[in-house]
Amino acid sequence: MDPTDLTIVAAAAAMRRGEMSALSYAEALLAQAEKAANLNAFIHFDPLQVRDAARAADERKATRPGSLGPLHGVALALKDNLDTAAMPTTGGTPGLRGSRPNRNAPVVQRLLDAGAIAFAKANLHELAYGITNNNAGFGAARNPYDPSRIPGGSSGGVAAAVGARIVPGGIGSDTGGSVRVPAALCGVVGFRPTTGRWPQAGIVPISHTRDTAGPMARSVADCALLDGVVTGSVAAPAVPGLKGLRLGVPRAHFWAPLDGETARLMEEVLARLKDAGAVLIEADIPDVGRLDGEAGFPIALYETVVDLNAYLEEHGSSMRYRELVAQCASPDVKGLLQSLHGEGAIPEAAYRHALDVLRPQLQAAYRDHFRRHDVAAVVFPTTPLPAAPIGDDETVLMNGERVPTFFTFIRNASPGSVAGIPGISLPAALTAAGLPLGLELDAGENADARLLAIAAAVERVLPKISAPKF
């Protein structure tokens, strides 16, 4: 048994049964972290801290075996915008390099209370404001399947660590695809809960309307376990198979344009679903791209200034938004965020229109689609193309043309984020170059447990993605 190959569920079970200790498990993961150090997956990483936490877990099992939580001894990577009292929380930006929160974010605390070990604070696109994880302040995180390529962002460090088998799972945050996009590009599962399902306190923010933390792991069962620990929810009944399950295929916006190889492989995935008995309903979601574009960015850009100032004040920092942004190291992030307190600031009237008129229209479009076509979920490629080369920050090559990197990679994941509905990306294929592709399933608001059950059934018919080679 190679401990690094174990899922969260399997590792927790093995430690509870006494088949391995938390310390021996931690040592195997630490050795893997050393092998994959070139991925630059972590901003804060202290092996001594990991070993101390593992020894404490073993001591608890020896002295109080009846008190073990469902995540006993399981090591998790935490995106470095989640507050941790025992480690710095930098948000991936130099201005917060010395930030030491005095308490854990509620999400983190619930995981630790369930027995998890905080393995490291993971790299991210600076202030979570980007999709490449090319962080000029802390270095680029790298894709475990090809270190010359991006892991996706903004939660790229978590995805790289999970894909590289350094840890079995971790927690990222998702405002416009920042859990699902890197999960897709690194060959792992990434789940965005319904907005508000997971507590958002204690997380360096972008937008209180759009932000949510979410899990990444190597199986749907692992994501369901983490979701249950954080929310206290009960899992939905398992879906025995796909026979008769109605899945929507909204071609407009989500299925075109795609990279040529991505399009071919995703059609093969649809064929697998159909062969397994799924009923594929080809029907579009009206105006989904327009409403996403017109609502999403005014909301996020307006709330960023307000929410970052509130976070800084709550944490007793003397800095405010302007000073924090002035210290940004990544040119893309600094340029955008500086514009938000100048002529490029979002007018309150535009924000209110996006929040009160356009976003409800987008939510209604989703609700109507699920009801009218009686579909349990919609399916589409998580990203229109595989991982881009590091350095393709502004444009990326797709089908022989240069297209905008940021907007292309978030195109499919963003609408569900703005609507606040749950979505999950599953590893679905490998390109000829060995790069992973993800299949996303989105469901209706608060249908999280049902979506996880459906995703587990879909997972069973998808091809298994091999681990990266080092």
Active-site positions?
A: 79, 154, 178
**CB-based contacts of 168: which residues, under 8 Å, 6+ apart?**
6, 7, 8, 11, 74, 75, 76, 162, 217, 218, 222
Token pair for residue 60? 């608890």
CB contact at 8 A, 134 and 125: yes
- The DSSP annotation for 226-267 comes to HHHHHH-PPPPPPP--STT-EEE--HHHHSSS--HHHHHHHH
Cβ atoms 169, 190 nearer than 8 A: no
CA-to-CA distance for 172 and 179, rounded, in angstroms? 6
278 in Cβ contact with 242 (< 8 Å): yes
How close are the terminal C-alpha atoms of the chain, in Å?
19
Q: Would strands 212-217 and 169-174 be described as parallel, antiparallel, or unpaired?
A: antiparallel
The H or E element containing residue 403 is strand 401-404
> Contact at 8 Å (CB) between 136 and 126?
yes
Q: What's the DSSP call for residue 355?
A: I
Whether 162 contacts 169, CB under 8 Å? yes
Place of tokens 């490998």: 430
Is residue 210 within 8 Å of 421, Cβ to Cβ?
A: no
Task: Name the CA radius of gyration of the chain, rounded.
Answer: 21
Q: Is 379 strand, coil or helix?
A: strand
Cα 425 to Cα 383: distance, rounded to the nearest angstrom: 10
Q: Are the CB atoms for 174 and 192 separated by under 8 Å?
A: yes
Beta strands in 56-211 (DSSP E): 75-79, 117-122, 134-135, 139-140, 169-174, 189-192
How far is 49 from 55, CA to CA, in rounded Å? 10
Host H or E run for residue 404: strand 401-404
DSSP string, 88-129: ---TTSGGGTT---SS--HHHHHHHHTT-EEEEEEP-SGGG-
The structure tokens 């193309």 sit at 385
Pairing of strands 279-281, 212-217: unpaired
